[in-house]
């Protein structure tokens, strides 16, 4: 598998951004929640606003060009040829929503939807390589697609990004699979993302979507901060073999998850 960005292989999640109605409110929310600082790219680039943690680029906030667009976090997968990736998306049954389009010297992006309807991005790096920090508190940690149709979605991501799909439902206690890069050994240590199948616990009108996780030092404290800042808790903190996590929404309705990787659930008897 080739390298699409510095240190980030093609097919790996390389970037996340949030599309918001009010970027200034988003800066206040995420600045307090994660300790992020911000830099506006200017009017030429639609006031796309980069977020930094300890001086390292970790995410971005962008104003919605159309108020009818969803308020959401999006994940981008690295590509060394966005046009070729777009071709694989179409051939595998997905749809191109936008692009590929060059974003100045920064790179080339496209937005697409998988056969289940979940929207994601693809990024071919120019001067913007993607995450400068990940897997640490205050930065991106994980992404997974929530779908109604695993039989359509699993082969799609295998074909487009070369992922191996491993079912770990028994361990996770839900219909869950992890993605590993082609050629990598199967297992959580090499996983780059995952797939969850929604069941009758979820309303049928809930669309397929990606869920972005950010790493935090204290899951419960972050959830309390979200509530204090008028965000919402979608799923209360709970322990898993990977860490203690919760699903929340910011004060504008964008869903995301937070996870404390230092608190994995221990097997009974330990």
Residues ≥6 apart with Cβ < 8 Å to 151: none
Beta bridge partners of 264: none
Question: Residue-wise over 66-75: b if at least 16 C-beta within 10 A, else e?
Answer: eeeeebbbbb
Predicted local distance difference test score (pLDDT) of residue 2: 38
Beta bridge partners of 181: none
d(CA 167, CA 176): 6
DSSP category for residue 190: G
Predicted local distance difference test score (pLDDT) of residue 40: 95
Q: Is the pTM above the cut of 0.85?
A: yes
Q: For each of the chain's 270 residues, which pLDDT tens digit applies?
A: 333 445 578 889 999 999 999 999 999 999 999 999 999 999 999 999 999 999 999 999 999 988 788 999 999 999 999 999 999 999 999 999 998 999 999 999 999 999 999 999 999 999 999 999 999 999 999 999 999 999 999 999 999 999 998 888 777 678 899 999 876 665 667 889 999 999 888 898 999 999 999 999 999 999 999 999 999 999 999 998 889 999 999 999 999 999 999 877 654 444
DSSP assignment string, 8-51: EETTSEEEEEEEES-HHHHHHHHHHHH--EEEE--GGGTT-EEE
Predicted local distance difference test score (pLDDT) of residue 270: 45
């Amino acid at each position: 598998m080739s390298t699409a960005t510095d240190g980030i292989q093609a097919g790996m999640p390389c970037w996340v951004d949030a599309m918001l109605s009010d970027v200034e409110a988003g800066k206040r929310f995420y600045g307090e929640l994660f300790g992020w600082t911000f830099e506006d790219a200017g009017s030429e680039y639609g006031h796309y606003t980069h977020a930094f943690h300890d001086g390292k680029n970790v995410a971005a906030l962008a104003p919605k060009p159309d108020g009818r667009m969803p308020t959401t976090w999006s994940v981008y997968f690295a590509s060394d040829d966005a046009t070729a990736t777009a071709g694989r998306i179409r051939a595998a049954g997905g749809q191109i929503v936008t692009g590929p389009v060059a974003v100045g010297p920064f790179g080339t992006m496209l937005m697409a939807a998988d056969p289940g309807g979940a929207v994601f991005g693809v990024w071919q790096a120019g001067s913007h390589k993607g995450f400068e920090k990940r897997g640490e508190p205050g930065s991106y940690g994980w992404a997974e697609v929530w779908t109604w149709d695993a039989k359509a979605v699993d082969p799609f991501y295998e074909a487009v990004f070369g992922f191996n799909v491993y079912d770990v439902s028994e361990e996770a206690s839900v219909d869950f699979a992890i993605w590993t890069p082609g050629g990598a050994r199967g297992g959580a240590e090499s996983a780059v993302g995952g797939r969850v199948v929604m069941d009758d616990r979820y309303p049928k009108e809930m669309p397929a979507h990606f869920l972005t996780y950010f790493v935090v030092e204290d899951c419960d404290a972050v959830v309390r901060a979200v509530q204090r800042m008028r965000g919402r808790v979608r799923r209360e903190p709970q322990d898993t073999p990977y860490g203690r996590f919760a699903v929340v929404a910011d004060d504008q309705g964008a869903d995301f998850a937070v996870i404390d990787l230092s608190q994995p659930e221990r097997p009974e008897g330990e």
